[in-house]
A and B are shown apart, each in its own frame.
Chain A
Amino acid sequence: MRRITSVFTSLAAGALLATSVAAQTELTVYTAVEAEDLARYAETFNESNPDIKINWVRDSTGIITAKLLAERDNPQADVIWGLAATSLLLLKSEGMLEPYAPAGVEALDVKFVDADNPPAWVGMDAWVAAVCYNTIEAEKAGLTPPTSWQDLTDPQYAGQIIMPNPNSSGTGFLDVSSWLQMFGEEGGWDFMDGLHSNIARYTHSGSKPCKLAAAGEIPIGVSFAFRGAKSKAAGAPLEIIVPSEGVGWDMEATAIVAGTANLDAAKALVDFTVTKAANEMYNTGYAVVAYPGIAKPVEYFPEGLLEAMIDNDFEFAANNRAAILKEWQSRYDGKSEAK
């Protein structure tokens, strides 16, 4: 009898072991989050969900979006964790996202949740435009610090500014879309005409202008505040300027890819992404997170940034994206080397 029980227990234990092995689900997660944060995100998630393994596919916003769209008929990703909301709106309009209301989503700021019910995506944190200003190089060139976007069209900055190309960078696009929203269609393009004559060149990525400013390659880089704060922390002689008219922003958001074979694990992950713990984790890099009331100030973050965030119309940005990019390209992409 005893023997039989022990056989049964060992069998049961074996079965238990087998299920726990089988439950080790692997999720392919597409992301545009900065590479240095990924390991930390996965670790924090695995503290509460040790049985789900995350395989990251990390690239810039544009590449990840292109990848997802290219794989439309045969999605490779299970979850998107940390991609611009503007991109997620594009994917949503292609019917590529699985609507899901994560447990606890009510706690989030409504601004950060898709308006549909159930929502197709949920926001994590906001990333906010800012100007990185290298004080040493600016002094060498005899520049006065700009305080507004319009200041940047001043002839004294001719050839001293680098910004990301909106055709290849999400940050570049959020800048352009915010200018069009703030200054109006006509005013926005007028402003960009003026800015263009001061631009040394456009980069492909959004963080590069700030890193170039940090390295003294250019005095002024139009980039985002988070990048500036990091470079400043690394010892770069940077001033992070918040233009007075207001700044554009986009949020990083999370969604489940429709048709995933691992729906339960995907839901578990998305549930985690809206928790307080997850939002506290986002807060190490981002001053604005979706969970209200927990954000602590981030080191070297410029003051007054939150107040400067414009009332961003994501639908406008997503639905006019193709037209805006085409117009931008015809205005600035072809003739720029003529200088």
Chain B
Amino acid sequence: MSTLTPGKHVLPAGPTVKGKLSRDDIMMRAGMVIIALYLLVTLAFPLYTMLSKSFSTYRFELSQYEFQVSDETGAFGGAIIDGAALNLRSAAYGDSELNTGSDGRLGVTKLFPDFSFRSPVRYQVRNSVAGGRFLVGSTLNDSIDWLELDSNTFRRVQLRPVKSTGFDNFINYFSTPALFNSIKNSLWISVLSTLITVSIAFWFAYALNRSCMRYKGFFRLVAMAPLLVPSLLPGIALVYLFGNQGMLKELLFGASIYGPIGIVIGSVFFTFPHAFLIISTALAISDSRLYEAATSLRATRWRTFWTVTIPGARYGLISAAFVVFNLVITDFGLPKVIGGQFNVLAVDIYKQVIGQQNFEMGAVVSVVLVVPAIFAFAIDRLVQSKQVALLTSRSVPFQPQVDLKFDRIFLAFCSLIALFIIGILAVCQYAALIKFWPYDLSLSLNNYQFDKMDGGGWRSYFNSIRMALFTAVVGTSIVFFGAYLVEKSNGFRTGRAIFQMIAMLPMAIPGMVLGLAYIFFFNNPANPLNPIYGTMAILVMVSVTHFYTVSHLTAVTALKQMDREFESVSASLKQPTLKLFSRVTVPVCLPSVLDISIYLFVNAMTTVSAVVFLYSPKTTLASVAVLNMDDAGDIAPAAAMGMMIFYTNAAARILHLLASKGILRRTQAWRAR
């Protein structure tokens, strides 16, 4: 209204009217700022720290060392020369040879062409600047005092590099074929797994939504099972099925399961429910009038499929494809268990950090891994935003017709998939109960004596449950409250948009990258949050952040269903928004709140990648125990622990189902007329 041009009116120009911030608005904004800060601290800052780590390089600064050589009698009289000048004279090291990693060491004898470890000549060496470092053997010298050594000891002198910044790590990475190869491997394995999973999931979802086959409920249940286990569990099952002592090894015709074959089969297993859920939602919505039109135009089944069914589900298909691609390329447990010599990016990070303690290179690989993941994610968001409502008020829901032949084919297909899923889980349970595969097939519970194995024993199992519960409670509160603030507060548009964007980010960040970023950020004494390093809190925090996006989207969707009138009414009744939130919004959205908490619980139980760098002796976790036991070669106990996670999650889901039924009856009574 402020655009009214003054002067032409008789009325005098009044004061500019400005929306006044009520106490409520201020509180809502403060709440939003707090949650945005939370995301900043748990996501943006750690990632930034990691990014800067990838640019920190190490180089031998020869000019920072001074040397003096004695004569044959051991008297020092000659010139003091710095290392750079010596290198210039001897041409011992080329410029690129002076670039190194944090663990680099450089011998000095090459700088002295006449050096002989038997000569009576003595050497003096010192750091010419404070903070310089060199080793004699493995003893660190960082003072600027001269150190006199005989020639035999002098050959044990090793220079240490100095930290600086630059692109060298990236140049080094792309010029190492072994590392560079992983990009190619990761990409094609992800594309292949995506193609297979999406095709299978499509037909599975098609059968469940568009046919009249029997046992739909059962199939729907089975399809969800892989969500309840860590992604590395199928890897363990595949070892028992197709390893050199495998039960069905002949089916591979001599090919090895350790490598791309294993990774693809395992990936199809653990990404299947994700793809199925998305595609099933897309197929559930369909307008029967389109099919009637197709029939009356005498289109064949085949033609109708390509002109009606596929276009209707295309957004779901694309979305599913990118989700699966993202899951496969960022997964680390499965390729570690069954990848053999087939290197992929996620495992490279682990090898760089754990095997070689090369954190800088680990950070570089993380950055490389984030690129395709963010790319896939961005495309997915773009596609989602184009999705238009297929279901209009005039739509007639599609009712599948009984077609015995097709239904029977679908039933066979779905049974096959269900057999695959149940088979993988059954093999794990069977393996867990065998005494000593393959030489002693008697049954025993030996493999459940976790306290005798790596990984923290039974305590890690209970730790996992505690961690998952905390994650569910804390995460649901943060996520739901945050979503409410974004969805229902007034004004503050830019702030809300930024918040939405940050909330989308975790989906694109691989768990392992997040975990690594947390080490860099939180294990720094200068960080005021440092005390949470090594506690349960940091595990809960990383899990909440890692699984933030999906929970946030669920909450937003639920909140969108509630008219903003509620806020207006409550405002006109002079009721504080928080009261409305707790008395109306939460109860109405309770089904979604429960969905979010079970999602967080199940994922916190199964995640490996996000927590593998962060657990401490008091907070060992079951999922990490599976990884560690497998790593140590205790494959059967690893399977046993994996199945414990499965049963726990299954129980949690059943509990969730019962609870939501009970609560729904009470809180959603208003929906019934």
Contact = CB atoms under 8 A, between A and B. Distances in A.
Contacts of B633: 203, 205, 207-212, 215
B181 A334 contact: yes
A36 B453 CA distance: 6
B659 interface: no
A93 B635 contact: no
Given A74-B524, A322-B100, A333-B178, A201 B341 contact: yes
Interface residues of B, number: 68
A319 B632 contact: no
A95 B140 contact: yes
A320 B104 CA distance: 9
A332 to B, nearest CB: 8
Contacts of A28: 617
Nearest to B134: A93
Contacts of A147: none
Interface stretch (B61-69, B207-215, B349-357): B349-357
A217 B105 contact: no
Given A28-B617, A70-B519, A330 B354 contact: no
A236 B156 CA distance: 45
Interface string B448-468: 000111110100000000000
A272 to B, nearest CB: 20
A337 B341 contact: yes
Interface in A3-46: 28, 35-36, 39
A55 B618 contact: yes
B436 A234 contact: yes
A57 B617 contact: yes
Interface in B12-26: none
Contacts, number: 169
Contacts of A71: 523
Nearest to A134: B439
Given A210-B633, A211-B634, A92 B140 contact: yes
Contact of A35 (B142, B258, B452, B616): B452
Nearest to A216: B245
B176 interface: yes
Contact of B357 (A55, A65, A211, A320): A65
B105 A322 contact: yes
Contacts of A234: 436
Contacts of B103: 90, 321-322
B436 to A, nearest CB: 6
Contacts of B256: 200
Interface string A44-73: 000000000001111110110110011101
Given A235-B439, A315-B138, A73 B178 contact: no
Contacts of A322: 100-101, 103-105, 356
Contacts of A325: 355-356
Interface in A94-140: 94-95, 115-116, 136-137
B530 interface: yes
B158 interface: yes
Give the interface residue-count category, chain A.
Answer: 35 or more
Given A319-B135, A330-B176, A235 B440 contact: yes
A89 interface: yes
Nearest to A86: B138
Given A205-B632, A234-B436, A237-B439, A168 B355 contact: yes
B309 interface: no
B631 interface: yes
A70 B341 contact: no
B307 to A, nearest CB: 43
Nearest to A76: B534
Given A28-B617, A168-B355, A73 B436 contact: no
Given A95-B140, A325-B356, A211 B632 contact: yes
A273 interface: no
A265 interface: no
A156 interface: no
B359 interface: yes
B38 to A, nearest CB: 23
Contacts of A157: none
Name, among B354, B355, B436, the residue most crowded by chain A CB atoms within 10 Å (CB to CB).
B355
Contacts of A333: 178, 343
A169 B357 CA distance: 12
A215 B245 contact: yes
B421 to A, nearest CB: 25
Interface in B311-327: none
B387 interface: no
B510 interface: no
B340 interface: yes
Contacts of A63: 354
Interface in B321-345: 336, 340-343
A185 B326 CA distance: 43
A149 interface: no
Contact of B177 (A70, A165, A207, A330): A330
A217 B343 contact: no
B142 A95 contact: yes
B439 A66 contact: no
B437 interface: yes
Contact of A69 (B160, B357, B436, B618): B357
Interface string B88-101: 00000000000011
Contacts of A59: 454, 628
Contacts of A207: 632-633
Interface string A207-247: 11111100111100000000000000011110000000000
Given A208-B632, A322-B101, A334 B439 contact: no
Nearest to B102: A69
B351 A167 contact: yes
B140 A236 contact: no
Name, among A55, A70, A93, A211, the residue most crowded by chain B CB atoms within 10 Å (CB to CB).
A93
Nearest to A334: B178
B259 A337 contact: yes
Nearest to B259: A337
B617 A56 contact: yes
Interface in B427-482: 436-440, 451-455, 457
B384 interface: no
Contacts of B259: 337
23 contacts: A59-B454, A69-B357, A74-B533, A76-B534, A89-B138, A90-B138, A93-B139, A93-B160, A94-B140, A137-B244, A168-B355, A204-B336, A204-B355, A204-B631, A205-B633, A215-B438, A217-B245, A315-B138, A322-B104, A330-B178, A333-B343, A334-B343, A337-B259
Given A35-B454, A95-B140, A216-B244, 9 more contacts: A59-B454, A60-B354, A62-B357, A92-B138, A137-B244, A165-B355, A168-B350, A236-B436, A329-B178
Interface of A: 28, 35-36, 39, 55-60, 62-63, 65-66, 69-71, 73-74, 76, 89-90, 92-95, 115-116, 136-137, 165, 167-169, 200-205, 207-212, 215-218, 234-237, 315, 318-323, 325, 329-330, 333-337
State the 7 A-B residue pairs at the shortest beta-carbon distance, nearest first.
Answer: A211-B633, A334-B178, A168-B355, A208-B633, A336-B341, A167-B355, A201-B340
